[in-house]
Every structure is written in structure tokens, then in C-alpha cells.
Amino acid sequence: DAGITQSPRYKITETGRQVTLMCHQTWSHSYMFWYRQDLGHGLRLIYYSAAADITDKGEVPDGYVVSRSKTENFPLTLESATRSQTSVYFCASSESLDSVTDTQYFGPGTRLTVL
């Protein structure tokens, strides 16, 4: 019963490189989310997805690309990493967007450092 997993857990990259963060959930939840967490800003939504092939922007989408070809996977790509994208990235999933009945379950996070 893995739940929601993220890989890698830690990543160091250089400015300008492409980086992909992976997220996998085993519950068949419809909704998946990517957040970044920074000191002084808290958790901010980057992108979310309602189902396979359906994605939508969150609060801070610039510089990120997502795809969702399968329900259980929701990769996040930084096409050309910048130092400002150094952060902890959390993936989450939920059955629906109904925040009353369906909790968002978070993964363990990926710590990304861009040098």
C-alpha cells in the first residue's frame, strides 16, 4: 500500500537544465496537484489535473510544464531550471475537488536545488 510517492527525493541541478519530478499514486484518485513550498511563502499551487489529459494552472505555473497521460502519474517538468525554482515540491492527490469530503493526500516531497 504505497499511497503517493515522489521521485527523486533530492535533486541538485544547474541553471538551464531540464528537470522532471515524478509523482505516482496507487489510489486511482482523479485529482492530482503539484505544490511548491518556500520559506516565507508557504504552499503554493503550481498545476493540478482533474483526470488524464486534463490539467489547469495554479497560482505559480510559469516555468513549469505538466502532463498526465495515465491517471496514476503526474510528472512536473522544469524546462529550463532557474535558481528561483529551488524549493521543496509536493505532489498531492484527492478523489475530487470537494475539500469537505475528499482530503488531499500529500507525498513526501522532492527537495530541488538549482545551482
Burial readout 59-87 (b: 16 or more C-beta within 10 A, e: otherwise): ebbeebebbbeebbebbbebeebeeebbb
What string marks each residue from 10 to 49 as x (binds another protein by CB under 8 A) or -?
A: -----------------------x------xxxxxx--x-
What residue type is assigned to position 98 of the chain?
D
Q: Among 18-26, 64-72, 73-81, 102-110, which window interacts with another protein (CB under 8 A)? A: 102-110
How many chain residues bind another protein (CB under 8 A)? 23
Q: Between β-strands 31-38 and 42-51, what pairing exists: parallel, antiparallel or unpaired? A: antiparallel
The reply on whether position 106 binds another protein by CB under 8 A is yes
Nearer to another protein, 72 or 106 (CB): 106
What string marks each residue from 60 to 99 as x (binds another protein by CB under 8 A) or -?
A: ------------------------------x-x---xxxx
- 3-class secondary structure, 54: strand
Q: How far is the CB of 103 from another protein (least distance, A)?
A: 5
Q: How far is the CB of 13 from another protein (least distance, A)?
A: 20
- 3-class secondary structure, 8: coil
Rounded Cα distance, 82 and 79, in Å: 9
Rounded Cα distance, 30 and 73, in Å: 11
Q: Which residues bind another protein (CB under 8 A)?
A: 33, 40-45, 48, 58, 90, 92, 96-100, 103-109
